[in-house]
Amino acid sequence: MKKIGDEYSLLHDIGVRIICSFVDEIYEIKDWIHSCFKVVEVRDNLSYPKLSGYRSLHVIIKVDGWFR
């Protein structure tokens, strides 16, 4: 729970992992997500991989009213 002013709000986090064979497919899925949802943040570790070699694309979206 997160306190906002005098009220508490429940935060909902849902993770979905999508595994693709090709990098181009990942960007196609990212574009679809952008067209359907409000994107809050994108962490692109495909274009800019970490020193350890870790590669991923994290897209954080905001969806109102789905969890009532």
Please report whether residue 9 resides in a domain.
no
Count structural domains, the chain. 1
pLDDT in tens, 11-64: 666 778 889 999 899 999 999 999 998 898 899 999 888 899 888 999 988 877
Residue 3 vs residues 11, 14, 31, 47, 65: alpha-carbon distances, Å: 10, 20, 33, 36, 19
Identify the pLDDT of residue 65.
Answer: 64
Please report whether residue 55 resides in a domain.
yes
Identify the pLDDT of residue 3.
Answer: 55
Please report whether residue 43 resides in a domain.
yes
Please report whether residue 38 resides in a domain.
yes
Identify the pLDDT of residue 25.
Answer: 94
Identify the pLDDT of residue 62.
Answer: 82
Please report whether residue 58 resides in a domain.
yes
